[in-house]
Amino acid sequence: MNRFIDENKDNWRRLEDLLGMLSGSGLRGLSKMEVREFGELYRRAAADLAIARAETRDPKVINYLNSLVVRAHGRIYRAEGGAVGIFKTYFRRDLPAAFRSILPFSAFAFFLFMFFVVAAFVLAFRDPEFTNLLGLADVETMAASNNRWWLSLNEANQVGSSAILTNNIRVAFFAFGLGAFFGIGTIYVLVYNALLIGGVLGTCYRVDPNFGAGLANFMVAHGVAELLCIFIAAGAGMSIGYAILVPSDLTRAEALKKRGVEAARIVIGIALFLFAAGVIEGFISPSDLPVPAKIATGVLTGTLMLLYLGFVGIKPDARAEAVEK
């Protein structure tokens, strides 16, 4: 207990000092550096409170830290203007910042997925046995009979869109949730879906290039946003697995909690993006719009997503540092 207090008391005192500096102006009364420090000290105090509750069970320490965390929390969220402010802060800062924090993992997910998509496409295009190995004999039969199943979405767009949305969210949540198994579960989800997508396209193009092109034209409008969502969710999942394996200077529990908070922010945003992609897949993808319009829809949605997640919320000084690097 004494060691725990000695190691962290300076941080608690500093957080108290910053709270004492705040006036009616809220966080605006602090400098930019002090605001950053305040946020970091608040998160550390919250983690210390969790540790104190789980390990020390000292009521004096727990009550002190609980009071400190509540005061800091109140200052932060009062400054953000209540529920509307929290909503704005999430989309203006928290979600894009969380995405940037797991960008290396999402990039790895992208390259891993694309490798297996290309490999599955080539193998299914060249070898019918590989199609059977993937269990895609029904796809080959539909391609041979020109059964364009995706066009049936036009008959009941609302139902189709709902079913598609549910499936996409399920895949994204699996990619995220299975990351807790040291990232292995997330890699499995990525490889499995990459083999299916590449195998289906390769099979369709081998049987009938026109049929394969029709399927690709259907996929392009919604596919870019959907795949980006899956890569991001997979990146969040792998970041959790990495935190367990390599906690850095934090304990595993602290590292897991920190990554868990960031990942949770991402998953909420991904669900919203997938909703939009599901609407596109249910209404635009199976429509009679010209192929260039569908391609433009896919490119535009993907570009807007990346621009939003990659650049919104970056402060001018941070942008300057990024440019210099």
Per-residue pLDDT tens digits for 133-179: 999 999 999 999 988 877 765 555 555 555 556 667 778 878 887 77
Burial state string for 172-196 with b = 16 or more CB within 10 A and e = fewer than 16: bbbbbbbbbeebebbbebbbebbbb
Q: Kindly tell me the sign of the dihedral angle through the C-alpha atoms of 30, 52, 250, 187.
A: negative
Two tokens, residue 99: 């995405």
| Domain stops at, among 79, 107, 125 | 79
Residue 88, domain member (yes or no): no
Helix/strand number for the chain, H first, E second: 14, 0
pLDDT at 302 over 70: yes
Distance between CA 157 and CA 159 in Å, rounded?
6
Q: What is the largest CA-CA distance in the chain?
A: 76
Residue 121, domain member (yes or no): yes
Distance between CA 7 and CA 11 in Å, rounded?
9
High-pLDDT (> 90) share of the chain, %: 34
Query: 266 pairs with which residues across the strands?
Result: none
* Domain count of the fold of the chain: 2
pLDDT at residue number 155? 57
Domain that holds residue 43: 2-79
pLDDT at residue number 293? 94
Q: Is 117 in the same domain as 253?
A: yes
Instruction: Give the pTM.
Output: 0.69
Q: Is 65 in the same domain as 109?
A: no
pLDDT at 131 over 70: yes
- Contact predicate 75/27, CB 8 Å: yes
Q: Is 127 in the same domain as 185?
A: yes
- Arithmetic mean of pLDDT over the chain: 82
3-class DSSP state of 23: strand
pLDDT at residue number 321? 42
Two tokens, residue 249: 């200077």
In this prediction, residue 28 has a pLDDT band, given cuts at 50, 70 and 90, of low
Residue 94, domain member (yes or no): no
pLDDT at 74 over 80: no
**pLDDT average, residue stretch 88-112:** 90
Q: Is 190 in the same domain as 73?
A: no
Q: Is 48 in the same domain as 113?
A: no
Q: Is 136 in the same domain as 181?
A: yes
- Contact predicate 220/294, CB 8 Å: yes
Residue 86, domain member (yes or no): no
Q: Is 65 in the same domain as 212?
A: no
Q: Is 44 in the same domain as 141?
A: no
